[in-house]
Amino acid sequence: MSEKILFVDDEKNVLEAIRRQLAKKLDFDTALGPEIGLAKVRENGPYAVIVSDLRMPVMDGIQFLSQVRELTPDTIRMILTGNADLKAAIEAVNQGNVFRFMTKPCPQNVLLKVLAVGLEQYRLVTAEKELLEKTLKGGIEVMTDLLSMLNPEAFGRSLRISHMVTEIAAQLGISEIWKLETAAMLSQIGWLLLPAQTLQKLYEDKELTSDEAKTLNMNPMISADLIKNIPRMDAVAEIILHQNNLFDGSGEPDDDTQRGDSIPLGSRILKVALDFDILEIKGLSRGQVLAQMGDRAGWYDPEVIKALEKVVGIEEEYQVREVKVSELDTTMILDQDIRSTRGQLVVSKGRKLNAVALNRLIHFDRNSKIQEPIRVLTFV
């Protein structure tokens, strides 16, 4: 964990004095002015603590620390100034979310104590964040592992949808793709209540019984309820809850009044990916799928459909190959389910191979044998 400190001031002699006082006691950098300070944050950050002067040209300390907060939110931000007044202190706390406000000259022992408190606060913040991330990751892994063991068909669909959602999001310029990927992977978790034969009927476009249809329609609510209590998963649960909403406001849940842009963007993307997948499973070509979805007036966000068309166009540039297990590599996407010679599903269609999946396939083939050849997609 980085626990470096950055001092920012527009007066060189102030920075030199700080270096003389603290060089043997702390690991820190200095920056002559806010512009150099921001450059150092981008190049060398994150810093555990940043101490900034208040009155500086180009931008003042409050503006500087506000930008630092956007770049590295966990950094503990402090002001050290010779221009102390109540208004400046209030603005620093409110706008820059400043942890401490100190005045010049600041005695060395006081400065060291304040920095020690800042470093401890940074450790607490990052430790809590790490714990939350591990909890989140662990919860997701447990749920996806459970889905893969109890309902491989639903797990395979989740993998395909996750890939499609990621590609659509990239076309739309969405930065926080992890929420969409997670929503896609967990969107089918409620299908654990559905027997495999019911899913097969759905894929083959066969009529469902009233009980099967009711359970199927409850999937978004069940899935959302299962994950909403995991830390930091509220937004993911919201995406999943509205995965069946149509753009014109109809669909599930039937008592929902959201429509158009009021439906979470992640839900609009997930809806397109889900419908694309189910139509492709039924045997339609990708061109036929796009045409059929285009005829469904009011169902989809037009911008998401445009992104889907671009994704499909890109994926058409992949070449279909048939390979042996020994020829698989991490540049390939599976174009079919991989099964053992006894018919056991090992990895589902649509999975982009990574090192973990590849090692698993090689190990499985040594012990139980995999059906060959395997149809894959490789980029032309």
- Give the number of other Cβ atoms within 10 Å of residue 16's Cβ: 12
Q: What is the pLDDT of residue 35?
A: 93
Q: What is the pLDDT of residue 30?
A: 94
Q: Say how far apart CA 205 and CA 278 lie, in whole Å.
A: 9
In SS3 terms, 64-115 reads as HHHHHHHHCCCCEEEEEECCCCHHHHHHHHHHHCCCEEEECCCCHHHHHHHH
Least confident of 40-44, 149-153, 220-224, 261-265: 149-153
Residue with the bigger pLDDT between 195 and 115: it is 115
Q: What is the pLDDT of residue 40?
A: 93
Residue with the bigger pLDDT between 288 and 2: it is 288
* Residues 273-292, mean pLDDT to the nearest whole number: 86
Best-predicted range by mean pLDDT (86-90, 178-182, 240-244): 240-244
* Residue 289 predicted with pLDDT over 70: yes
Least confident of 31-40, 79-88, 118-127: 79-88
Q: What is the pLDDT of residue 151?
A: 66
Which of these, 166, 217, 213, lies nearest to 190 by C-alpha position? 217
Which of these, 152, 80, 150, 88, lies nearest to 112 by C-alpha position? 80
Q: What is the pLDDT of residue 349?
A: 75
- Note the pLDDT tens digit of each residue in 244-258: 889 988 765 555 567
- Asked if residue 180 lies in contact with residue 166, where contact means CB atoms within 8 angstroms, the answer is yes
Q: What is the pLDDT of residue 1?
A: 44
* Residue 208 predicted with pLDDT over 50: yes
Indicate where the chain has its CATH 3.40.50.2300 domain(s): 5-127
Has domain 151-316 been given CATH number 3.40.50.1100?
Answer: no
Residues contacting residue 235 through CB under 8 Å, at least 6 positions apart: 179, 264, 266
pLDDT band for position 54 (50/70/90)? confident
pLDDT band for position 94 (50/70/90)? low
pLDDT band for position 84 (50/70/90)? low
**Any idea which fold 5-127 has?**
Rossmann fold (3.40.50)
* Residue 230 predicted with pLDDT over 80: no
Indicate where the chain has its CATH 1.10.3210.10 domain(s): 151-316
Regarding pTM above 0.75, the answer is: no
pLDDT band for position 132 (50/70/90)? low
User: For the chain, what is the mean pLDDT?
Assistant: 82
Residue with the bigger pLDDT between 126 and 200: it is 126
Q: What is the pLDDT of residue 359?
A: 83
Least confident of 126-130, 157-161, 309-313, 370-374: 126-130
